[in-house]
A and B are shown apart, each in its own frame.
Chain A
Amino acid sequence: MFGPLIVKPSKSKGDKTGSWRTKIRPKYLQKNCIGCKMCVVICPEGCVSGKEKNTYICNYEYCKGCGLCSVICPKADIIMTEESPEGEKK
């Protein structure tokens, strides 16, 4: 009971924090992207991924909808849209 509490690394992936989003979610348009990777760098969740321009997308299972990627995108290629009423929210 009072020994060290040890858990496997990176186990938090089981927490689907995407359910925290309330009304809005980012939408990656993938049109004018220049591949600056600022959305990857800035995401507090670390859930944005992509390899080259116009491939960046966030993982909606973890995205909490803070909107930072939308604000930082220099090409305004990420917009905040309303969460669709049914089904789409994972």
Chain B
Amino acid sequence: MENNPLFKPGHTGCAGCGQSMAARLVIEAAGANTIVVNNTGCLEVFTTRYPESAWGVPWIHSLFENAAAVASGVEAALIYLGKKDTTNVIAQAGDGGTADIGLQALSGMLERGHDVLYVCYDNEAYMNTGIQRSGLTPFDTNTTTSPVGKASVGNIRQKKPMPEIANAHGIPYVATCSVGYPQDLQRKVKKAISIKGPKYIQIHVPCPLGWRHESNLTYQIARLAVETGLYPLFEYESGKLAAVRKIQPKPVEEYLKTQGRFKHILNNPEELKKVQGVADNNIQKYNLREESPSS
């Protein structure tokens, strides 16, 4: 990893950026024989400020919505050239480029069954353009398009169940991971690459700017999201829930109080209850609760 990194320093991501951490872990796990296709988003902007590039692998960006479509074409070309068996194709995007703008291209790619790994870096809003809410912004989040005020307590909608939507296409592998668990993340990427067919991985990446937390807390906050049940880590294999990371659930306040974007609900028991309800729902749905050894 150290000798010839595939994701070089010198990119212009913020200090403490969870996305740059995840992008580096993904590309190091995938290896040098990889072609990366990027949607527009933070990752594209801060790694390839023209005329510079942080990537040590072939990398292409076209439009905001079509990483999945371009990756499909790259994969088809590699098959024609007879090089697909030795080359991995990764399409990657932020949460807006995946759940809102790029959803139709992604759905098409999954439906057609291209051998591509799609990675969604989920920082839960459009951070690149100034923290607008996206389909993956969680409930009650304060963003610039869901501002807090007299009549509003932030984002009124639930997080879009993207992994379930991807899984509903009947693809061989769907997983969620988090930069709070880097080894788990790299294991899932390696596993996904070893499987033929379309794969979808969603990575929870804290954003110090948009979530309003200190730059040195990225790792802890990512772990807290998992430990409270707000970001369940699971794997679907061929449509079946294959594995989940078991947790001993912590109250959601521990996660919410670390970030400025949830500051307004900390003294609002009614809203806290609703957010706890989201976590409880996840815990029940994926059976996240760790059985105590005595029972």
Contacts and interface: CB of A to CB of B under 8 A. Distances in A.
Contacts of A8: 53
A43 B217 CA distance: 12
A68 B53 contact: no
Nearest to B179: A42
A70 B16 CA distance: 12
A59 B9 contact: yes
A44 B47 contact: no
A7 B215 contact: no
Taking residues whose C-beta sits less than 8 angstroms from the other chain, chain B's interface range is: 35 or more
A58 to B, nearest CB: 10
Contacts of A65: 15
Contacts of B10: 12-17, 62
A1 interface: no
Contacts of B218: 44, 66, 68
Contact of A72 (B53, B208, B219): B219
A44 B18 contact: yes
Taking residues whose C-beta sits less than 8 angstroms from the other chain, chain A's interface range is: 20 to 34
Contacts, number: 108
B54 interface: yes
B94 to A, nearest CB: 16
A74 interface: no
A40 B5 CA distance: 12
A9 interface: yes
A3 B282 CA distance: 47
25 contacts: A5-B51, A7-B48, A7-B50, A9-B56, A9-B58, A10-B54, A11-B52, A13-B8, A15-B49, A15-B52, A40-B2, A44-B16, A45-B9, A45-B13, A45-B20, A46-B7, A46-B20, A64-B14, A65-B15, A66-B15, A66-B215, A67-B216, A68-B219, A71-B219, A71-B220
